[in-house]
């Protein structure tokens, strides 16, 4: 049914009122994304953040003791970039009175007490020393210290690799041809999926427990929020200290009770061999510990959402089920679970995105070592540890593409499932 002219005007006014807020949000969200895309197609290192510039340093080779003695000046010329050239370089220096030219470099001119040197092209990594010789007369009264402090103005034209329109696929080729990348990708999905499911499971378990009526329930609900509201650096180092293989409480208890013959380096040991039903299985020890930390730290968020949804379920449904002889498991399966499916799916999406982008937890616990390196840690390693900003941005773009694909699939299929359930 077509809308009336008044409805169309109201809709236009609503969009006009929302436009400033949308512009701010889009600029905050889209500009960093576009910058990552731009840099990912460039061979940029940390040193390239500063554009190339010409550098001139003055050295006094000989200082006149008497009038008529020569004054020898040497200039050290250098291009600051090892990759890009600098063109049309102009150096200007105002010299004190009482100096007469004896010998000048062919690219320099001395006029009105100003030394002017012009250079057409300095290639990448360019270094050169030039020397100019002057004779001083009786009007030259400048001290050596003052002369050394004289200002040299220098300018040049150089291409900035960040703003140029030269693009390359080297970063993506480097990433996808590195066998370690696919191991990092696999680790990221394992960490994200298991960490998300673990936090949801613990949150559901805690919500079921604290949905009952008993003394001290309010205190326990507040206590369960402790892992989420505590500073990440505090809880991370607490776990590191508790699980330390030499002085940690957990390892000491397990060794003392005879459960372990020797301590386990839970954050530093990549894997451990386990004998399960007669088969030796290589168990990822450090990764499992990091996943356990992720599940423990973020289950309170799921706990809050699930508990709020549980409290909105009418109690009459459970009373009717009890009268029909339904067991607690049947009540959970046929009443509770269908009622909380929506909030579980939303929490899964949010936690999956947040865990996929998580950096600080793994970096504080293991630094990405012992098989716990994820894509976000790889962005840091490529961009800052290896000083390769282009490769780091390429990994960031891959993260953005994977999360975008996941959200598209989620929003594509979730509404259909909700419509069918409501029907």
How are strands ordered across the β-sheet holding 54-62? 54-62, 70-79, 127-136, 99-103
Instruction: Please state the pTM of the whole predicted model.
Output: 0.78
> Domain-by-domain residue ranges, the chain?
52-158, 172-422
Beta bridge partners of 126: none
> Cβ neighbours of residue 226 under 8 Å, at least 6 residues apart?
300
Predicted confidence (pLDDT) per residue in 102-115, tens digit: 999 999 999 988 99
For position 419, what pLDDT does the model report?
42
CATH 2.60.40.290 assigned to domain 52-158? The reply is: yes
pLDDT score, position 37:
92
Rounded to an integer, what distance in angstroms lies between the CA atom of residue 212 and that of residue 66?
Answer: 100
User: Three-state SS string across 98-126, please?
Assistant: CEEEEECCCCEEEECCEEEEEEEEECCCC
Please say whether the dihedral angle defined by the alpha carbons of residues 60, 64, 67 and 71, taken in this order, is positive or negative: negative
The answer to whether residue 423 scores a pLDDT higher than 60 is no
- Specify whether the CB–CB gap between 371 and 287 falls below 8 A: yes
Residue 420's pLDDT band, with cuts at 50, 70 and 90, is: very low
> Among residues of the chain, what percentage have pLDDT more than 90?
50
Ramachandran quadrant class, 277 (left: phi over 0; alpha: psi -120 to 50; beta: rest): left
In this structure, of 53-67, 202-216, 274-288, 346-360, the range with the lowest mean pLDDT score is 274-288
CB 197 within 8 A of CB 297: no
357 pLDDT above the threshold of 80: yes
pLDDT in tens, 362-416: 999 999 999 999 999 999 999 888 889 999 999 999 999 998 888 887 777 664 4
Mean pLDDT computed over every residue of the chain:
88
Give dist(CA 9, CA 3) in Å, integer: 10
Of the ranges 9-23, 146-160, 289-303, the best mean pLDDT one: 289-303
Order of all β-strands in the sheet with 152-158: 108-111, 114-122, 86-94, 152-158
Residues 146-201 pLDDT 10s: 888 888 999 999 888 888 888 999 999 999 999 899 999 999 999 999 999 999 99
239: pLDDT confidence band, cut at 50, 70 and 90?
very high
Mean pLDDT of 258-266: 87
Domain 172-422 maps to which CATH number in 3.20.80.10, 1.10.3720.10, 1.10.8.60, 3.90.1150.10? 1.10.3720.10
The three-state secondary structure class of 152 is: strand
Residue 1, pLDDT score: 52
Lowest pLDDT segment from 46-55, 264-273, 286-295, 346-355 = 46-55
Instruction: Say if residue 68's pLDDT is above 80.
Output: yes
Beta-strand relationship, 272-276 and 279-283: antiparallel
N- to C-terminal Cα separation, the chain? 24
The pLDDT of residue 381: 92
pLDDT for the residue 69: 87
pLDDT bracket for residue 10 (50, 70, 90): confident
> What does the alpha-carbon distance between residue 21 and residue 33 come to, in Å, rounded to a whole number?
19
The whole-number average pLDDT for the span 330-353 is 90
Residue 227 burial (CB count, 10 A): 19
248 pLDDT band (50/70/90 cuts)? confident
Comparing C-alpha atoms, which of 235, 225, 349 is closest to residue 290?
235
User: Could you read off the pLDDT of 73-105 as tens digits, one per residue?
Assistant: 999 999 988 888 999 999 999 998 889 999 999
Q: What is the DSSP letter of 49?
A: G
């Amino acid at each position: 049914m077509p809308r009336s002219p008044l409805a169309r005007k109201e809709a236009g006014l609503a969009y006009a009122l929302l436009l400033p807020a949308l512009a701010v949000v889009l600029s905050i969200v889209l500009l960093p994304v576009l910058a990552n895309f731009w840099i990912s197609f460039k061979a940029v290192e940390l040193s390239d953040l500063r554009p190339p510039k010409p550098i001139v340093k003055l050295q006094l080779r000989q200082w006149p003791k008497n009038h008529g003695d020569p004054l020898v000046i040497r200039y050290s010329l250098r291009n600051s970039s090892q990759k890009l050239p600098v063109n049309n370089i102009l150096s200007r220096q105002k010299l004190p009175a009482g100096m007469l030219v004896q010998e000048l470099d062919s690219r320099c001119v001395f006029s009105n007490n100003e030394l002017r040197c012009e250079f057409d092209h300095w290639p990448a990594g360019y270094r050169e020393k030039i020397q100019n010789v002057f004779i001083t007369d009786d009007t030259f009264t400048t001290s050596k210290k003052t002369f050394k402090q004289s200002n040299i103005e220098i300018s040049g034209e150089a291409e900035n690799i960040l703003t140029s329109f030269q693009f390359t696929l080297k970063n993506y080729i480097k990433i996808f041809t590195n066998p370690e990348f696919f191991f990092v990708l696999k680790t990221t999905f394992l960490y994200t999926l298991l960490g998300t499911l673990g936090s949801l499971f613990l949150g559901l378990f805690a919500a079921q427990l604290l949905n009952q009526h008993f003394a001290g329930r309010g205190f326990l609900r507040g206590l369960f929020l402790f892992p989420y509201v505590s500073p990440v650096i505090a809880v991370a180092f607490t776990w590191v200290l508790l699980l330390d293989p030499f002085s940690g409480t957990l390892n000491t208890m397990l060794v003392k009770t005879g459960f372990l013959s020797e301590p386990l380096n839970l954050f530093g040991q990549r894997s451990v061999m386990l004998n399960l039903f007669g088969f030796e299985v290589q168990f990822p020890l450090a990764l499992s510990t990091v996943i356990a930390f992720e599940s423990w730290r973020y289950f309170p968020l799921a706990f809050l959402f699930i508990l709020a949804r549980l409290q909105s379920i009418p109690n009459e449904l459970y009373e009717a089920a009890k009268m029909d002889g339904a067991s607690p498991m049947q009540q959970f399966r046929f009443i509770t679970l269908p009622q909380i499916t929506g909030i579980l799916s939303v929490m899964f999406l949010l936690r999956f995105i947040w865990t996929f982008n998580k950096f600080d937890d793994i970096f504080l616990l293991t630094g990405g070592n012992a098989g716990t390196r994820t894509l976000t840690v790889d962005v840091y390693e490529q961009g800052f540890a290896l000083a390769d900003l282009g490769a780091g941005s390429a990994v960031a773009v891959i993260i953005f593409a994977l999360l975008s694909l996941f959200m598209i699939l989620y929003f594509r299929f979730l509404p259909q499932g909700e419509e069918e359930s409501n029907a």
